[in-house]
A and B are shown apart, each in its own frame.
Chain A
Amino acid sequence: MSQLRENESKTLIALGNAGGRLSVGEIARASELDPSAIMRAVLFLESQNLVLVKEKRSTKIVLNEEGKMYADQGLPERRVVKELVKMGGEGDIDQVLRAASLDESVKVITLGWLNRKGWAAIDKETRKLKLLKEPVEGSDEKLLSLLKEKGSVTLEALDGELKDAVEVLKRRKIVDVHVETERELELSKAGWDLVKRGVETVKEVSQLTPEMLVTGKWRETKLRAYNIQAPVASTWPGKKHPYLRFLDDLKRKLVALGFKEMTGPTVELSFFNCDGLFMPQDHPAREVHDMYFIKDPERGSLERYQHFLEKVKKTHENGWKTGSKGWGYAFSTLEAARLMLRSQTTAASARMLIREDLEVPGKYFAIARCFRPDVIDKTHLTEFNQVEGIILGEDLTLVNLLGVLEKFAKDVAGADKVKYRPDYFPFTEPSVELVAYKKGYGWMEFGGSGIFRPELTLPLGIDVPVLAWGLGVDRLFMMKAEIDDIRYLFSQNLDWLRRVEMV
């Protein structure tokens, strides 16, 4: 038989003192222990067959607000009777009610009860209320005063007469009745034996304190064992956003593959977002439903880029020296200066191509917020991130472009198989779509790519091939995080962010 801990001893002793039978609530009062501490002690005592646990159901009756008022002032019919006695046994109905401080609204009910109890009645001739007898206290009134005195009573403990009165008061809606379950503990024979032998208690503490350590008191102290199975309160770690973590990881992989990061502004000149990319100025994708434009000022300055602007203009109009026919329209430099929100990361690539520190051969990537006036739904956002890169070098070909795509699909996205499909972008030719197969997901579009058109590179002063690629990172992340709604990328749901798994 193991030694008993403090709470267990106290519980056992309280039971012994009370003759072997108590409810948890009663033990709590007798032992000054917390009910939850008693329950933990009981679990152990029960496992040692020292106590038996029985569930006792009892029906509690308490007065409600109306009931309390009646308990204080008496039932309305009793109050009427009292007034009638004062008036000499007879009186005008309304006058009596007023004297008894009863409201017009309870008039009918009060008359009903007077009639039912046979205490008073309305005289048919005089239309006056007449006392029939001076009544003694009924069982309903007895119960009312008992409740007033005790606060609550248990149905099972009442005698027959009062039990019936409970029904009456319940129907009058002046008492609340509810069933309570209470655990009652009973000492077993082994329990009794132990109590009689005397319970040995070890002093226990729950919290180790600096004081115990300094004074060395911990040596004489028994630290209480905890229920290590008990649930604990939630706590949440500081965490990076899952989508940004995914992009961080992607960046690391790109850097490892030799890519340098490039950047660009949120508010972009149409020149970099469109014209420099050989998108004709009347292209349908340049209209208001595909791009956001800035209200004020409408235009930026192309002063620094005059040199390039002239060549881009000629290329659009007649192909300049690129070997192209051009688009054959009158290019507007005003339109090229129009300010807009970056709608594609390729704008950052165009900026990179004219930078003085551009390296050839070179590899660059950008992860940038892009904006398009889409309606926000499960698959569209009006703001989203694009990942894009360029590779420049003397002898780069379509063969290399496909090599880049395969590497991304397999190394970056963990795809099993890849397929290429002819694609179209205004600024690349040839253009290739990457379709990759991943077990459990099937074939999916992973990204688009191509070789920049000569009409793009030559006016910007680039005379080597430039391979360009973009990855559908949103889709890759959604697949990884097992979400089917793109709005979760900008989730406003803290609970989801706290719980989303990191690996």
Chain B
Amino acid sequence: MPTVEVDLEDLELLLGTQLPREEEKLNEVLSYIKGEAKGIESNEIRIELKDSNRADIWSVEGIARALRGYLGLERGFKDYHVEGRSGVTVQVDSKLKKIRPYIACSVVKGVRLTDTAIRQMMHFQDKMDQTYGRNRRRTSIGLYDYDLISPPLRYGVAKPDEVSFVPLDFDEKLTLREILKKHPKGIEYGHIVQRFPVWPIFMDSANNVLSFPPIINSNDLGHVTPSTENVLVEVTGTSVETVQNTLTNVTLALADRGGKIYSAKIQYPYGNIRSMTTPNLKGETFELGLDYVMKVIGIQFTLKEIRELLGKARYGVMKASKNSLVVKVPCYRVDVLHPIDIVEDIAIAYNYNKIQQQWPRQLTIGGLSNEAEFRDVVRELMVGLGFQEILTFIMSSPETLFTKMNVKSQRVVEIANPRLSSMTCLRNWLLPSLMEFLSHNTHVDYPQKVFEVGHCVVHNEQKENKTDDIETLACVTIHANASFTEAKSFLDALLTNLGAPYSLREESHESFIQGRAGKIIIGEKEIGIIGEIHPQVLQNWGLENPAAAFEININKVRQHIFSKP
């Protein structure tokens, strides 16, 4: 979830009212926008915003815009409009089609930017680039001092060594290739363009570089300061819609700082639309049936009430009939995909805590899965036999599963992106998890008897998910006199009580002492293994007491028992 940094005084200035400084009270206000402030020690606060689609409130200006509605300071649809044409045209190069095809621009004139406002604007730009822009892969933003630029502009391409300019926060000219190597942003985002033979470049008619999208702006032209009055906003990216949505949100944030919006004309050599005017501040409309609202929320609202709640949430109502409304969604609400999104805003504006709740009165019969019922019987018996139940991770490593268990490596389900060297695959048997547990408890009183019923995962090409989940029971007894015989007596008690007669077949298994291990057979099926742990394995785990163990596949045991005539 996005976290935004907000200057409280600046927010209050934009809101036109004071906010409570007490955390709980402030969070009641912020809950309207699904936000939560964590700790209010200074004027700078961090707000966690849960909605990862509502890009409009990642700016302090957008937060103020939304809260003004909920706090009753301003109602209804806020109409932003384009004052006129800026006269800027952007010619797009056909080579960008496969690289980064779309661009959108606007000019905002007469903005009043303080240092605080600029800092917040930078935060917003970052947040948009990271989240909505998917780390600049999908969209990236550039802001420029409009008065230093000579239109028309050109969104073109350049070879890595062909063009050089001074990138933001540097004082020497670098080629595009050097930027990817030396500039922090080049290092961070270079991978987006690196695989292409030519890279995007944004230039004016005097051949001055504005920026190298999506990497870095020019230090000369792409620098906004408190003395900047007129701002050129540019967004490039891979989809027309997200590029436009991003432009809208940045442009409106600047407009909320007193600016007037002017459009730019983009000319494409490809696609259906050869010429496009941006920004597009026309919002969409949705038809909303009253029945639908009530069916979702469960409250009998009147048409008037719904209109009021929509106003609080800053929607417009264009038309109303007896049973439905045509709702005008503001252009900045890029998160609204379906009428359900509008219904939620109605419920939020009404306030969840005012709703009289009711337990659903439908009658259903509860029950555990068959696996769970059987698992619980097995666990009860093991506890009765004096074993302590433990809980371990399903993720493991070949070191734990094979090397330390003294057996040859087998094919396991491996993780493509592991985080820890001890958790690189899924375990295919459970006993190693128990041995690891014992290795951490050598200082604890013996005898120790532990068990777990846990999941193991193995390959199975026949299955849709290419694996089988196996539930197994493993137990170990470890103390000065532990032996195969003891383990067998536990196995015997368990399987007798489950009504599953078994036999043992001698087995040579490197984890166990030769001649003291066997496969456990039920019916004709092999369901597990039992044995006295090999001294080498004990030594590998740093254990200084003999141990004996068994592991059985309880799915197979259950199937056997319930398939009996």
Contacts and interface: CB of A to CB of B under 8 A. Distances in A.
Interface of A: 234, 236-241, 243-244, 248, 251, 254-263, 265-269, 282-285, 288, 292-298, 300-304, 319, 322-329, 339, 341, 359, 361-363, 369, 371, 373-376, 382-383, 391, 393, 395-407, 419-424, 426, 429-432, 451, 453-455, 465, 467, 489-495, 497-498
Interface of B: 1, 31-32, 34, 50-53, 131, 134, 137-138, 239, 241, 284, 295-299, 337-341, 343-344, 347-348, 352-353, 355-360, 362-369, 371-372, 376, 379, 382-395, 413-420, 423, 426, 436-437, 440-441, 444-445, 448-450, 455, 457, 463-467, 469
B460 to A, nearest CB: 10
Q: Which of A266, A269, A371 has the most CB of B within 10 A?
A: A266
A216 B335 CA distance: 91
A292 B417 contact: yes
Contact of B426 (A240, A267, A326): A267
A494 B284 CA distance: 61
Contacts of B358: 399-400, 402-403
Contact of A251 (B368, B414, B417, B457): B368
Nearest to A363: B364
27 contacts: A238-B382, A241-B391, A244-B379, A248-B376, A251-B368, A260-B366, A266-B467, A267-B426, A288-B416, A292-B418, A293-B417, A294-B413, A300-B463, A300-B466, A361-B360, A361-B362, A383-B393, A391-B362, A399-B358, A401-B357, A406-B357, A424-B34, A424-B53, A429-B344, A493-B440, A494-B388, A494-B448
Contacts of A267: 413, 426, 457, 465-467, 469
A393 B437 contact: no
Contact of A300 (B131, B388, B465): B465
Contact of A240 (B131, B341, B383): B383
A426 B337 CA distance: 12
A453 B441 contact: no
B414 A295 contact: yes
A261 B348 CA distance: 32
B366 A328 contact: no
Q: Which of A265, A285, A293, A422 has the most CB of B within 10 A?
A: A422
Contact of A259 (B366, B395, B419): B366
A498 B241 CA distance: 60
Contacts, number: 269
A199 to B, nearest CB: 42
A319 B359 contact: no
Contacts of B50: 423-424
Given A255-B367, A293-B416, A399 B340 contact: no
Contacts of A294: 413-416, 466
A456 B404 CA distance: 46
A293 B34 contact: no
Contacts of B395: 371, 382-383
Given A399-B355, A420-B352, A489-B391, A298 B338 contact: no
A393 B68 CA distance: 37
Contact of B365 (A260, A398, A455, A498): A260
A491 B393 CA distance: 10
Given A283-B52, A454-B340, 12 more contacts: A236-B445, A241-B389, A260-B366, A261-B367, A296-B414, A298-B416, A373-B417, A397-B297, A397-B298, A400-B298, A430-B348, A494-B444
A300 B391 contact: no
Contacts of B450: 494
Contact of B52 (A399, A402, A424, A489): A424
Contacts of A494: 388, 390, 437, 440-441, 444, 448, 450
Given A294-B415, A323-B339, A490-B393, A240 B465 contact: no
A467 B379 CA distance: 33
Contact of A238 (B241, B386, B465): B386
Given A323-B338, A495-B444, A255 B34 contact: no
Nearest to B441: A494
A421 B31 contact: yes
5 shortest A-B CB distances, which residue pairs? A397-B298, A399-B298, A402-B357, A255-B366, A430-B344
A259 B355 CA distance: 25
Nearest to A432: B352
B364 A361 contact: yes
Given A398-B297, A399-B358, A400-B360, A239 B389 contact: yes
A269 B465 contact: yes
Contacts of A396: 360, 362
A405 B353 CA distance: 12
B360 A404 contact: yes
A468 B363 CA distance: 17
A256 B366 CA distance: 6
Contacts of A325: 284, 337-338
B337 A455 contact: yes
B398 to A, nearest CB: 13
B388 A430 contact: no
A44 B360 CA distance: 71
A302 B464 CA distance: 7
A293 B297 contact: no
A49 B136 CA distance: 93
A453 B338 contact: yes
A361 B384 CA distance: 40
Contacts of B466: 267, 294, 297, 300-301, 339
Contact of A369 (B344, B394, B436, B445): B394
B466 to A, nearest CB: 5
Nearest to A297: B466
Contact of B384 (A238, A285, A298, A423): A238
Contacts of A376: 420
Contacts of B457: 266-267
A294 B412 CA distance: 11
Contacts of A260: 364-367
A492 B31 contact: no
A189 to B, nearest CB: 48
Contacts of B297: 397-399, 430
B10 to A, nearest CB: 24
Contacts of B239: 328-329
A422 B31 contact: yes
A258 B363 contact: yes
A293 to B, nearest CB: 4
Contacts of B31: 421-422
A399 B356 contact: yes
Contact of B387 (A238, A374, A391, A432): A238
A337 B34 CA distance: 33
A495 B379 CA distance: 20
Contacts of A258: 363-366
Contact of A420 (B353, B419, B423, B455): B353
B374 to A, nearest CB: 12
B344 A238 contact: no
Contacts of B393: 382-383, 490
Contact of B465 (A251, A265, A497): A265
Contacts of A339: 465-467
B362 A268 contact: no
Given A240-B383, A265-B465, A498-B388, A403 B359 contact: yes
A261 B353 contact: no
A374 B445 CA distance: 34
A423 B54 CA distance: 12
Contact of B134 (A255, A284, A362, A395): A284
A285 B343 CA distance: 25
B417 A303 contact: no
A362 B338 contact: no
B388 A282 contact: no
Nearest to B137: A282
Contacts of A424: 1, 34, 50-53
